[in-house]
Structure 1
Amino acid sequence: MSATAEQAPPAPLCDADPFSLSALENPDELHHALRTAGPVVYLSRYDVHALARYQEVHAALVDWQHFESGSGVGLVNFRHQKSWRPPSLLLEADPPRHDAPRRVLQEILAPPALRRLRAAWQAAAEELVDQILANGTEFDAFTRLASAFPLRVFPDAVGLGPAGRENLLPYGNMAFNSFGPANDLVKADAHRVAELSAWVNAQCAREALSEDGFGARIWAAADRGDLTHEQAPLVVRSLLTAGVDTTVHGLAACLYAFATHPEQWRRLRERPESARVAFDEAVRWQSPVQTFFRTATTDVTIAGTVIPGGTKILMFLGAANRDPARWSDPDRFDLARDPSGHVGFGMGVHQCVGQHVARLEAEALLTALARRVEAIELTGAPRRHPNNTLRSWASLPVRVHPVA
């Protein structure tokens, strides 16, 4: 029998701020403390319960009936406060409202469609690496590789024109910041909300998209009645919001991992077919998406703690991905590991629908690098870019040693 709110012992209390600059810069200590404290922890600063262990995070992610996304995946509860933008039909909606948009995107991003992109993306990756090596062996791997490659190939695949792509990362940064509290990071973006939102919304219109991209196929689905025409631009916007930043910072995590684990780079060069595993292991190890909120639809008991209905739950994906109860030697980046099951892309009906696109981008770039570069090393301290949700980067200075 589940404990009632009166019978259940209170969850361990934590007054730490997971959205402080120090915690965002280096979350490992907080994650360890939360996992150690218990399966459910009460964060007094924000009046929310937190889950940091793999078992509980995974269970909550797959149980959309009791842990809904429709009230928003940030601290703001959409039942009581209006968002600064229309909620995402993929990320911030539950079945049945969530079903048609996801079904359409799953078909558009299915393996046959991605196989048609493979050759072009591999050629683009090889061209990019050749251009970089022609200009020297020391560079910022974040801007020149991790950012440059997705910003080149993914907007092309969606059907965006070349103008204004520099707005994609700032817009994504703003969107992911907004999932946290209204702190200084959110305030720093406030002056650009209208400008960036207007630009992104304009890119989602049918006439702004090429005739052969993912965006045009979304609009074609609306013409067939698989979506409404009001939903179509929102689905395109979901692609642009979630499909760039997460891949960029996942690739940066991968390059950082190889720069600090040279034996793993040698392993990748010997076994280039492990590029996708390397990307997933980097996503597990660094977790570009660190946190997401859910909302309890009713009183829910987890490990003896009652979480009241209508309240927010903060899930620490990054902490779950390094839970020693789930992963052996979790703080190590290791290509011998099977990283499948990590929650870096979510789980259940809200699992990232574009994760295979991200893997294909990573495979193309890592394969091109492995053919041309014997070693990668840091030449200075990497710099993080603080964000309320993302484990993001600002700079990753490296030196590479080209194949002789």
Structure 2
Amino acid sequence: MTTTPDTAASTPPPTADWVDPLAMQRDPYDTYDRLRDLAPVVHVPALNRYLVTTSDACRAIESDQETYSARAGGAAATMVRALGGTPMLRRDDPDHATERGPVNPPLRPKRVREAWAPLFERNAETCLAALLEKGPDEADLDHDFAAPLAAYNLVDMLGLPMADPQDVRRWSHTFIEGIGNIQDDPDIWVRCDAAQREVDAVLDDLLPRLRAKPDGSITSALANAGLTDDQVRANVKLTISGGLNEPQHMTTTIVRALGDHPEQRELALSDPARWPAVFDEALRWCSPVGMYPRETTRPAVLEGFRLPAGAALGVVVAAANRDPSAFPRPADFDITRPRQPHLGFGSGVHRCAGHWAARIAVGEIAVPLLHQRIPTLRTDALRAGNWSGWVFRGLTDLPVTW
């Protein structure tokens, strides 16, 4: 619960000077457990911010835009720097609502099923054929299926037929690197600047044509909503980053989780009605977006701990999704657990706009198709897969065989 400092007894958050960002890149969950045991909000000098790790505290932040701002500032600067502009995720209402409004209609579930699902199915078939051609001795589910499929789907949804899906994939990974660059690596900024220039060159040609002849794409919706070119460009780049990264990682996370839990896999394969629960549990168990920033606009008390104005916060939804006070046996992957809201897509007004597209493209089409066509699909024990990241987390390699 958030209260004003003069109405509740409060103490400063504890400090965790032992946090190792490199260890978190490899596996953050032990660190999250230790932080959560200390307090709901902990000052972490190595990251120059306060990390918020409990479900209640993260939800309290999302319910109070006036105190915890998403606007571009110290806490949110990496996204603005990576994308070369301020997208809707780094704005508060009413500005956020102005930019979010145009993309809501193309991403509603009915529209996704009617307009996008047939394209998702076509693209999944194309990428599955490429995976099968690679063969059971060399196939990598991330490189040969999940990433190219997410790129093809994104090209269709954004309406970028002139863009090479391989370029879109590279742009996305570069922007994600930049958004997570809280250590301020200059080489990452060089790559972000180059990706920005390439995307801008595509949009220089595309935006005038879409304004003259609108279509059903997300880019068209943004271009014809009365937004400035800078607003359109920032939000297209935002969509390129999250619109590829999250579906890609969800595909590989689900396949890996089912492979590591054969009893869960058998449940899913024996009852196709379980696939939505599989998607939802994987999203909770290993959230592809692990942390996003907020900044206090005024002194505040969060769950009994005093925060100054201008405090840079990390809302660690991946930790909140494994909070034992919210989820029994939180580290277990269990598709039979009772349905319960989590923060895998965020919450409140900033909840991910593309969550229905991801659920349908990955949870209803791509992953079921993989297991239907390759019933013996499994992780290749002879070739290691690699998890990486904490701001964004997923498998960077997933060798598979059948």
Same fold (TM over 0.5): yes
Which residue type is aligned with residue 345 of structure 2? F
Which residue type is aligned with residue 285 of structure 1? W
SS in 1 for 2:31: helix
Which residue type is aligned with residue 104 of structure 2? Q
Uncovered stretches (5+) of structure 1, i.e. residues with no partner = none
| 1:278 matches 2:281 | no
Provide the residue aligned with 2:61 in structure 1: 60
SS in 1 for 2:90: coil
Deviations 1:147-175 (A, max 9, x none): 12111222122111254432334433333
- Please state how far the C-alpha of 1:69 moved relative to its aligned partner: 0.4
- Please state how far the C-alpha of 1:275 moved relative to its aligned partner: 2.2
SS in 1 for 2:248: helix
**Following the alignment from structure 1 to structure 2, what is the Cα–Cα distance between the partners of residues 168 and 38?**
40
| 1:296 matches 2:299 | no
SS in 1 for 2:395: strand
- Please state how far the C-alpha of 1:14 moved relative to its aligned partner: 0.2
Provide the residue aligned with 2:331 in structure 1: 331
Which residue type is aligned with residue 109 of structure 1? L
- Please state how far the C-alpha of 1:6 moved relative to its aligned partner: 12
Q: Residues 281 and 335 of structure 1 are in contact (CA less than 8 Å); yes or no, is this contact kept in structure 2? A: yes
Alignment equivalent of 1:109, drawn from 98, 107, 110: 107
Alignment equivalent of 2:220, drawn from 212, 217, 220: 217
Provide the residue aligned with 2:386 in structure 1: 383
SS in 2 for 1:263: helix
Deviations 1:288-315 (A, max 9, x none): 1111110001111012211111111111
SS in 1 for 2:221: helix
**Following the alignment from structure 2 to structure 1, what is the Cα–Cα distance between the partners of residues 128 and 75?**
37
Alignment equivalent of 1:98, drawn from 91, 96, 99: 96
Provide the residue aligned with 1:312 in structure 2: 312
Provide the residue aligned with 2:374 in structure 1: 373
Percent identity over the alignment is 25
Provide the residue aligned with 2:401 in structure 1: 399
Cα–Cα, structure 1 residues 265 and 255, in superposed 2: closer, same or farther, change >3 Å?
same
Q: Residues 73 and 91 of structure 1 are in contact (CA less than 8 Å); yes or no, is this contact kept in structure 2? A: no
User: Does 281-290 or 267-276 show the bigger shift?
Assistant: 267-276
TM-score (norm 1): 0.87
Cα–Cα, structure 1 residues 92 and 106, in superposed 2: closer, same or farther, change >3 Å?
same
Cα–Cα, structure 1 residues 144 and 312, in superposed 2: closer, same or farther, change >3 Å?
same
Q: Residues 14 and 42 of structure 2 are in contact (CA less than 8 Å); yes or no, is this contact kept in structure 1? A: yes
Cα–Cα, structure 1 residues 157 and 76, in superposed 2: closer, same or farther, change >3 Å?
closer
Which structure shows the higher helix fraction? 2
Q: Residues 71 and 295 of structure 1 are in contact (CA less than 8 Å); yes or no, is this contact kept in structure 2? A: no
The equivalences for 1:220-235 within 5 A come to 221-222=224-225, 225=226, 227-228=227-228, 230-235=230-235
**Following the alignment from structure 2 to structure 1, what is the Cα–Cα distance between the partners of residues 174 and 15?**
30
Cα–Cα, structure 1 residues 83 and 195, in superposed 2: closer, same or farther, change >3 Å?
closer
Provide the residue aligned with 1:10 in structure 2: 12
SS in 2 for 1:204: helix
SS in 2 for 1:374: coil
Which residue type is aligned with residue 193 of structure 2? A
SS in 2 for 1:148: helix
**Following the alignment from structure 1 to structure 2, what is the Cα–Cα distance between the partners of residues 12 and 219?**
43
Deviations 1:371-401 (A, max 9, x none): 2232332223211344x6211322101112x
Which residue type is aligned with residue 348 of structure 2? G
TM-score (norm 2): 0.88
Q: Residues 345 and 352 of structure 1 are in contact (CA less than 8 Å); yes or no, is this contact kept in structure 2? A: yes
Which residue type is aligned with residue 172 of structure 1? S
Uncovered stretches (5+) of structure 2, i.e. residues with no partner = none
Which residue type is aligned with residue 188 of structure 2? D
SS in 2 for 1:157: helix
Which residue type is aligned with residue 279 of structure 2? F
Which residue type is aligned with residue 94 of structure 1? D
SS in 2 for 1:13: coil
SS in 2 for 1:313: strand
SS in 2 for 1:243: helix
**Following the alignment from structure 2 to structure 1, what is the Cα–Cα distance between the partners of residues 120 and 263?**
27
RMSD of aligned residue pairs (Cα, Å)? 2.7
**Following the alignment from structure 1 to structure 2, what is the Cα–Cα distance between the partners of residues 392 and 385?**
6
**Following the alignment from structure 2 to structure 1, what is the Cα–Cα distance between the partners of residues 149 and 127?**
8
Q: Residues 285 and 333 of structure 1 are in contact (CA less than 8 Å); yes or no, is this contact kept in structure 2? A: yes
